[in-house]
Amino acid sequence: MKFVQIVTLWILISNSWAVDRRWWKHATMYEVFLKSFKDSNGDGVGDIRGIISKLDYLVDIGIDTIWVTPYFPSSMADGGYDITDFYGIDPTYGTTEDFDELLKEMKKRDLNFVMDLVINHSSDEHEWFQKSIKKVAPYTDYYVWADPKGYDQNGIPIPPCNWVSIFDTTRPTSGWTWNAERKQFYFHQFGVKQPDFNLRNEDLKNDLKAVMKFWLDKGVAAFRVDAVPFFMEDPLFPDEGDTQEWLKVALGLQEGFSARLNHPDTVPFLNELALYLRQYDRKNKKPLESAIIAEAYGHVNILKRYFGPSHSPINFRLTMLRKYLDAKQLIDHLNLWLKTIPKGAASNWALGNHDQGRIFQRFNKEYNNILLTLVTMLPGTSVIYYGEEISQEIFDFAPEKEKDRFVHRDHFRLPMQWDDSLNAGFTSAEKPWVPLHPGYWKLNVEAQKQQKDSTLNFFKELTSLRKIETFKYGGLKFYTISKWILAFTRTYRQSKYLVVLNLGMDSNIVDLHSGIDDLPATLTVAAASPNSGYKKGQKFSTISNQQNAQLMRPESSVVLTFE
């Protein structure tokens, strides 16, 4: 072998070693809101066997990782996030055998399972809380308990401080609830039936790690850890200032810590969980691939503390968009996150979820496709909320039909729209657990499969590209072509792609040479949004002049290949 060939081969091998190939750094992750995905037994509620029946669909649309919302026994005061048994399966969703079969069928299809790990609190019906009330060791201090500050003139105990429940900030109610049996208050960041754990307690931490081990042994690949900013509170329970100021911190609108939000002690605890994962992987001779995906809210300067070698916070910046941005504004918005990520850490992008709502609440259908292009073509993990692949809409149905009365989230948790049959193919029951969108007969998976220019088929083009190494490991560079035309390149070795977005509400002439050097005269369309007017395989001129005006329709996107 010639010397040049040897050097070239060594460079290729070195480059392949240099990239981080851990699956969770470039996954296409799909959130299944379990109650609303697919009902298999006709009771109107989605279940585990319903997921099994749709695994081939998820593979077909390019999903490689599934995050499933809680399936544990629950008092159902908060959609399953109030858990009564961390080791069980709620009968509403199926059996242990059903869950084991789900993981078995996912493994056959090379799908990764992400479990919702809810450890900020439990249900007040959990055995641990009931024993904590009675001060049964070792559960006595498993929860946040406090003596009253005093008693009012009627002998009613006064809460230790003025902390309110996050579940009702429009009519602030105390986050403290009196327990007459224990004669102390317990604290709950969320609902009254969700007492907060005391995560400084070593016995509790060991029990929670045992929960993680139980599910890891079954085959869980990663944990989406719920409500991370709420893990720790100041043990002195100081009063807080204005509620609106606290909310700005909570929503990431301003930097800062709170006595009960993003407390500095939260980071060491999260690192402890991540270390446990690494130790588990080593002990079981697994590749170091288990991961923590932290549900964390806050200013980027706070969130950067939640990155680590095997964990990263979910990026909610796109879910926070409330207005249309021009090219420079959107690049600045994206770069604020990208520049926050420590070197070697994993990025991720999400448009919505079961708490954040759907993109339709803020933008129109065409803009939804632009944002789908962003979350799939930017580096890192793409997080897709079920139904986003068909542009599923929200529906503000009658309040008396809501189950989620406190936070009003049911209108973006509607049943998945599979086809135009009764109840959209979601259930054979007379009625699903919440009303369907009345337009399901025309907007559904089967209809979009048959429609060439559909969001679903566009999404499949995007996820197909995500499997290419260029989009997994490639570099990123942004360009402002004009006020409303944004472009970025993804480059890896000799492969290069160019993504072009018209963010404006008007058609725009696109002269890519005005912002990018060394372009060939034409590129080839690798994917195009349904409204763009372009087709896969079509040539796209990079130069626009009087003889050759290359137009892009309003709010459209194309992915172009140099190859």
Catalytic positions, written as ranges: 226, 295
**How far apart are alpha carbons 548 and 535 in whole angstroms?**
18
Q: Assign 459 to helix, strand or coil.
A: helix
Six-digit token pair at 105?
A: 């069928």
287 burial (CB, 10 Å; 0-12 / 13-18 / 19+) is: exposed
**How far apart are alpha carbons 344 and 380 in whole angstroms?**
11
Q: Assign 499 to helix, strand or coil.
A: strand
Amino acid in the structure at residue 219? G
Cα separations (Å) of 250 from 260, 261, 306, 383, 536?
A: 10, 7, 15, 22, 43
HEC sequence for 519-555? CCCEEEEEEECCCCCCCCCCEEECCCCCCCCCEECCC
**Left if phi > 0, otherwise alpha if psi is -120 to 50, otherwise beta: which for 60?**
alpha
Instruction: Name every residue whose Cβ is closer than 8 Å to that of residue 550 and which is 6 or more positions away in sequence.
Output: 509, 510, 511, 540, 541, 542, 543, 544
Q: Assign 4 to helix, strand or coil.
A: helix
**How far apart are alpha carbons 111 and 346 in whole angstroms?**
19
Tokens 């080791």 correspond to 87
Helix segments in 123-265, DSSP class H: 127-133, 202-218, 243-250
Count of other CB atoms within 10 angstroms of residue 147:
11
**How far apart are alpha carbons 412 and 357 in whole angstroms?**
6
Instruction: Report residue 177: phi and psi, to 5°.
Output: -125, 130
**How far apart are alpha carbons 176 and 188 in whole angstroms?**
6
Contact 158/151 with Cβ under 8 angstroms? yes
**How far apart are alpha carbons 507 and 207 in whole angstroms?**
59
* C-alpha dihedral (274, 279, 280, 281), degrees to nearest 10: 90
Contact 399/407 with Cβ under 8 angstroms? no
Q: Assign 246 to helix, strand or coil.
A: helix
How large is the angle between the packed helices 266-283 and 202-218, nearest 10 degrees?
A: 40
User: Is the preceding omega at residue 138 within 30 degrees of 0, hence cis?
Assistant: yes
